[in-house]
Structure formats: C-alpha cells, structure tokens
Amino acid sequence: LGGAATLATVAGCAKDNDIDISSGVGITATRNVCPAVAVPMHTGDITLFDPANSRDAAAIDIVATITNVVPSCNDAAEKVYQLASFDVMATRRDAGPARTVTLPYFSTVVQGGTAVVAKRIGQVTVSFAEGQVRGTGHGQAAAYVDRAAATLPADIQERITRKRKAGEEDAAIDPLSVPEVRTAVQRASFELLVGFQLSQEQLEYNVRR
C-alpha cells in the first residue's frame, strides 16, 4: 500500500473508552477478536482512461468506487472468520451497448497497524446494461485470524479494567498510555483492508486529484 495508509474504517473492534467514576476510576475497553474492516485511503476508487495513456478529463472511460462494505464475523471457533462483502458502483463515459469490465481488488490482513499477515488478489465484474452509463458489481473479501493472537493477555486486561480509587498513585494514569499495555493492545489488533489493486500510476492519480 506504499507506507502508512490512512484508513476509512467500516467496522471497528473497539469503541471509545468508558470511564466509570461512580465506584472508583477504571477504564472499560470494549473490543472483540473480529478484525476491523476498512478501505485504505486512495484505494477505494479506480479510474480507467481511453486512450489508456491519456490523463485528460475527456479521456476518462470508467470511474468505479467501492461502497456498501458490510462485515460479517464468525468468532465461534479458534480461527476467527471475518467476511466483508461490498458493492462497486461505476459510471462510464458513453451510454452504448451492454458491457462488462473486470476490476482487480486486494484484501489484506494487517496486524498491529503495520505487519501484513496475508494478502489476496481478487476480481470483481461490473456490468453496464445497454444504454446505461451506470453499472454495478459485487465482491467479497475474507480473513482468518487466530483467536489467541487477537486476545489480550489476562494481565493486560486486568491492568486496563482494574478499578482505581481516587487518591491512588496510578488513579489518574490512563493504562493505555503505558508502553507495554499499548504495545500488547496493538499486537492483538487486526484489520481486514479492502481496496482496488492499483498500479503506481493509478494510485498517484488518486492522491493528486
């Protein structure tokens, strides 16, 4: 993906921390073992040109966008299965005969925000009806994650959720700011990233526009 990509998160595995001040100070972090699903910035769109070597606006043939990303997770087994289905909405320059276009997309499993665990390339077919400039397609991406790897160690969970009384030395310290706690949470966090498999030139075009 060429560096640390900004993510448009579709479904996360955690929500903002809730601080319970009624019975002491504590942080409850709600998370589960299902990978978050996201589309990395600049990879959710693809533009095809005709002629292919032109970058003039008048030469834009097809513009397609990944949308309606819906995650579905099965975490009942030791191998957690995350499925993400999505639609591709496209427009073409000319309303002409019926047409189909096949577009490549990737699905990548990332651990801790940076480590690529697995990557697969798929294809989605977009169909344009005769006389229509809008077309649609549908694709899916999937990931398996080890439950043990996505589960926080018991001692880390205890440090995060332990109730702290006002006046205690660590009462005002956010446990997620402690390096070893933050590292453990990051290591147990997985994402399933989905986007178009772009050439370097296509990616640069998306970044510039």
Residues 6+ apart with CB under 8 A from 98: 127, 128, 129, 130
First to last CA, the chain: 18
- Give the mean model confidence (pLDDT) for residues 45-53: 94
Look over the chain and give the mean of its residue pLDDT values, rounded to a whole number.
81
Q: Considering the chain, what percentage of its residues have pLDDT values greater than 90?
A: 56
The least confident of 42-46, 54-58, 198-202 is 54-58
- Which of 1-5, 21-25, 130-134, 159-163 has the highest mean predicted lDDT (pLDDT)? 130-134
Q: Is the pLDDT assigned to residue 204 strictly greater than 80?
A: yes
Q: Please give the pLDDT value at position 170.
A: 56
On whether the pTM is more than 0.95, the answer is: no
Q: Is the pLDDT assigned to residue 4 strictly greater than 50?
A: no
pLDDT band at 84 (very low <50, low <70, confident <90, very high): very high
Residues 6+ apart with CB under 8 A from 201: none
What would the DSSP string read from start to end of 163-180?
-B-TTSTTTT--GGGSHH
- The H or E element spanning position 155 is helix 154-161
DSSP structural state of residue 154: H
